[in-house]
Amino acid sequence: MATAAFRPLADLVRAIPASIAQAMLAGVLVPLCLVPVTATAAEPWLVGPVVLVWLVIMVLAPRWAAPAALLTAVALAIAFAEQPLGGALWPSVRWTMPAFSTEALVSIAVPLYLVTMAAQNVPGAAVLTGFGYVPPWRASLIVTGVGTVVGAPAGGHAINLAAISAALSASPEAGRDPSRRWIAATTMGVAYLVIAPFAALLTAVVVAAPADLVAAAAGLALLATLAGSLRTALMGDDRLEPAVITFLIAASGVSLAGVGAAFWALAAGIIVHLALRLRR
């Protein structure tokens, strides 16, 4: 919430070139989109039906290909569970009274704030900017900040913007008219509320399922978003090196000082972009 008062940060986010923002997103998506390939190679008779359902529905009704693949994966996960479902299968709210601790502030709170800003909020805003939107940076930080304060005692310690979720609802896959893609974001929010009571049960199913089965369906759902990101990243008017460097660092998954690859990819891409402009 305090960060929302820092106006220059919003200007910095808006200044990120679309090609670099989209290259960062593409790099983040690559490991996820590779899961269907590696999982099919490892267990073709189990993951193959998920890919086949996705392909058939993609031909007949493209909009429903991803949900069909996901439902198929969940059904197979239940049928071929490698271990019994364990733990609590239904959610419960457990209130934890806040208590101040200098050690927790230094070792948990400050690092968590930095990671949330660098790996979630900034890349999330950059993705929206890359799709041509002007994200309400200060309003977003205030809303998510208030949500974090309210949700923290019940375990919601980091409510923030997210790059992949933003890409799914802000990309052309969510609709040709950019002014109407809010419908996809609203639908996603409603779906979260519907799924929430079953979150523990679904998590138990995924944990008990064969490795990467459900993740393979998720990777298939992200293929179109990956393709759109790569197209935007490589069709800019500027030099391609900043976008390529951004993509490679994001795809590498490297983590430095506890901060994920998405932030370092943006930082490296912007540095190379500015260096080339300075030389020009």
User: Cβ(158)–Cβ(201) under 8 Å?
Assistant: no
Q: Which of 220, 206, 215, 214 is nearest to 51 (CA)?
A: 220
Q: Sign (positive/negative) of CA torsion 70, 75, 79, 81?
A: positive
The SS3 assignment for 256 reads strand
According to DSSP, residue 135 is labeled: -
Distances (CA, A) of 168 to 161, 218, 222: 13, 12, 8
Report pLDDT for 3: 85
Strand (E) or helix (H) holding 212: none
Asked whether the beta carbons of 214 and 71 are under 8 A apart, the reply is: no
Can you tell me the distance from the alpha carbon of 146 to that of 279, in angstroms, rounded to the nearest whole number? 44
Give the position of tokens 């994200």.
Answer: 135
- pTM, to two decimals: 0.76
Query: CB atoms < 10 A from the CB of 181, how many?
Result: 19
Per-position pLDDT tens, the chain of length 280: 888 887 777 777 777 888 888 898 899 899 999 999 999 998 899 899 999 999 999 999 988 998 999 999 988 888 887 777 766 677 777 788 888 888 888 878 887 887 788 778 888 888 888 888 888 888 999 999 999 988 888 888 888 988 788 888 888 888 889 899 999 999 999 998 998 888 888 888 888 888 888 889 989 988 988 988 888 888 866 688 999 999 999 999 888 877 778 888 988 999 999 898 887 6
Q: How far apart are CA 260 and CA 97, in angstroms?
A: 30
Calpha distance 47→38 (Å, rounded): 10
